[in-house]
Chain A
């Protein structure tokens, strides 16, 4: 038996969930289990209570609300990757999902689980940050909204209390024509990203009207490359400006670990940012930078 003993709860509704969360201490919420169950198996996590969300069907679903897409926290990664709404409204998420684990883990893994686990290299939190998503959390004091910018507090630590449950992710869609690019580098496909970059780009002629750039894996939390976004606004995305933005990405702080040095992550941040922007330029109908 791998996990330490716990008491298991599987509420069938939001009311049952609230009642259980109000009555237990030392609790972990179980979504798809693709990160929490390994932590239980390795006994990194030894909570007294596990509250399994899998029976609460209200927590799954993808809703097209025009200028917003609302996604239930328990929506499986496999459902997102097959969704026509996501393909039409948030196509970069489909690209990013190809890098999320493997198809066998995507069959269970959820968007809410990815956001709450908040691995620094995870793709879905970085996509939510790229779009300035808004998260809905149910807690002891009722419901509250948390903008994605305020979600990551520190390394693998979301802005979520022990008794809070993430229930919904609302993503504002970019209107009109725009380009996007998602690039990732990992030792093997499906491994944790060493660095990943995502970019959204709207051009007016060859001038940048709106741009968003996000990096994952480089620092302890995903972050927006706002210095580069500010720099690019109103400028043409020519070779010089592209190089400058790549330099900005490379100059940011980056993590070191036992396998990958900080300098290598910095270098990759520059390269991934450049490639993500190049893909976005092409999709936005811009000229190849020269």
Chain B
């Protein structure tokens, strides 16, 4: 017996009405039902940060929220942040600073930094390190990711 609910959730500007099992977490819903596989699932218990998405503008772990809890909410994933062909400033900073290698942690890093910089304009290098302390990278190392975060913070604060 499975317990299901109808939900209506807006993802990257598009509203989806769908039936979900109530035990399905938001990350699985995005990947398996909406086929938005840019959101990566690493540990699925809230430690690695790879699955971070924006829900009503706030960065949250999509593995720690049930899909049914996203009913009526506005979700933004890594697929929804570029403006057409134009990369988001954080994405561009990652490319320019070689801030990714295998790319597994990258969606979570970028979404986390977008939310953090928006709330903390003028974030310093130390702030950026704290901001990504909940996102694990196992290959590039953090120097280039921090450099990208610092560059993006300075560009985004200058632009606003």
Taking a contact as CB atoms under 8 Å apart, the answer to whether B3 and A7 are in contact is yes
**Cβ contacts under 8 Å, B25 to chain A:** 2-3, 37, 41
Q: Give the most central of A2, A50, A104: most B CB within 10 Å.
A: A104
Taking a contact as CB atoms under 8 Å apart, the answer to whether B23 and A103 are in contact is no
A-B contact count (CB 8 A): 95
**Cβ contacts under 8 Å, B1 to chain A:** 5
8 Å CB contact of B60 from A40, A50, A104:
A104
**Which B residue's beta carbon lies closest to that of A40?**
B23
17 other contacts beyond A6-B23, A107-B59, A190-B134, with CB at 8 A cut-off? Answer: A3-B23, A3-B25, A5-B21, A8-B68, A10-B69, A33-B69, A37-B66, A38-B64, A41-B44, A41-B45, A54-B69, A102-B134, A103-B116, A103-B131, A104-B112, A105-B46, A105-B61
Interface size on A, residues (CB 8 A): 30
Per the bound structure, the CA–CA distance linking A103 and B112 in Å amounts to 9
Q: Give the most central of B21, B131, B134: most A CB within 10 Å.
A: B134
Taking a contact as CB atoms under 8 Å apart, the answer to whether B130 and A189 are in contact is yes
**Cβ contacts under 8 Å, A110 to chain B:** none
Given contacts A1-B28, A101-B134, is CB(A8)–CB(B49) below 8 Å?
no
Chain A contacts with B in 31-53, Cβ cutoff 8 A: 33-34, 37-38, 40-42, 50, 52
B-side interface size class:
20 to 34
The smallest C-beta distance from B136 to any residue of chain A, in angstroms, reads 10
**Cβ contacts under 8 Å, A1 to chain B:** 21, 23-24, 28
Taking a contact as CB atoms under 8 Å apart, the answer to whether A190 and B133 are in contact is yes
Q: Give the most central of B44, B52, B60, B115: most A CB within 10 Å.
A: B60
Per the bound structure, the CA–CA distance linking A272 and B133 in Å amounts to 22
**B63 near A: Cβ within 8 Å?**
yes
Please name 8 pairs of A and B residues whose Cβ atoms are closer than 8 Å in the assembled complex, sorted by A: A2-B28, A7-B3, A33-B66, A37-B66, A38-B46, A40-B23, A54-B69, A103-B116
The smallest C-beta distance from A114 to any residue of chain B, in angstroms, reads 14
The smallest C-beta distance from A247 to any residue of chain B, in angstroms, reads 33
**Cβ contacts under 8 Å, A188 to chain B:** 133
Given contacts A38-B46, A41-B45, A190-B134, is CB(A6)–CB(B3) below 8 Å?
yes
**Cβ contacts under 8 Å, A50 to chain B:** 22
**Which A residue's beta carbon lies closest to that of B46?**
A38
**A78 near B: Cβ within 8 Å?**
yes
**Cβ contacts under 8 Å, A4 to chain B:** 23
The smallest C-beta distance from B64 to any residue of chain A, in angstroms, reads 4
**B160 near A: Cβ within 8 Å?**
no
Q: Give the most central of B21, B49, B66, B68: most A CB within 10 Å.
A: B66
Taking a contact as CB atoms under 8 Å apart, the answer to whether B46 and A34 are in contact is yes
**Which B residue's beta carbon lies closest to that of A33?**
B64
The smallest C-beta distance from B104 to any residue of chain A, in angstroms, reads 17
8 Å CB contact of B49 from A6, A102, A107:
A102
Taking a contact as CB atoms under 8 Å apart, the answer to whether B21 and A37 are in contact is no
Taking a contact as CB atoms under 8 Å apart, the answer to whether B3 and A5 are in contact is yes
The smallest C-beta distance from B5 to any residue of chain A, in angstroms, reads 7
